[in-house]
Amino acid sequence: MNYFKQTVLGLIIFSSSSSFAQNGSDKKIMDAMVKGDYKAAVTQLEKADAKDGNNANVLKMLGYSYYQNGDYENSITTYSRLIVLKPTEISAYYYRGKARLNVANDPKQSLNSMRDNFYTAAIKDFTKASELSGEEDTQMLQNRGLAYKDYAIFKSFKSKKATEKAACIALFNNSISDFQKVLTLQPLRKDIIDWITYDKAQIASLK
């Protein structure tokens, strides 16, 4: 089954239905999630998390709500907690990877020195999510391709030596490889074709 053929939000709600919507507080959580009111969802979910810090369904929805609110640091922390409880939860790796990539691309001043770590961690998360899904998923491949591309761009700004440029070229080539796999599954996607063209132009500029 392609994990991302259905929306992650839908999976969260349906997988949580057995343990939620049983009282007023739970109903508020589910209503907020369905409406896309993630600020309200966070408020309710944080209360639920305070009562039971080991509820995987709560952590799944809380991590997703933090992500939708742009609170990437708390999203990363929450998904990391979820992974401890459920090491094979694909969505946790996928969204933690996306959150880490967002932090790397738009870091707070206090996190600027850690951008390398966020890029490499994001790539590892997308790789792990892909391994767990057991198949080549276009969402995984596309996001990992973007992570390789963005990491290569970041490193190229300070690449002077031949070995440093070679490392950047290797990252761009990894990006191209993932994008080409996406095109195999979804031919003629202009956005992917444009990214491949961009990667190749950057490689040429480093030679």
Task: Spell out the domain ranges in the chain.
Answer: 1-135, 140-207
Tell me what pLDDT residue 18 has: 47
Q: What is the CATH number of domain 140-207?
A: 1.20.58
Confidence of residue 27 (pLDDT cuts 50, 70, 90): confident
Domains 1-135 and 140-207 share a fold: no
Asked whether residue 25 carries a pLDDT value surpassing 90, the answer given is: no
The pTM score is 0.88
Q: What is the mean pLDDT of residues 57-75?
A: 94
Separation CA 55–CA 16 (nearest Å): 10
d(CA 182, CA 96): 21
- pLDDT band (50, 70, 90) for residue 28: confident
The mean of the pLDDT values for the chain is 88
How many whole angstroms separate alpha carbon 125 and alpha carbon 137?
A: 14
How far is the C-alpha of 148 from the C-alpha of 87, rounded, in Å?
24
Q: How confident is the model at residue 144, as a pLDDT?
A: 98
CATH entry 1.10.357.140 includes domain 1-135: no
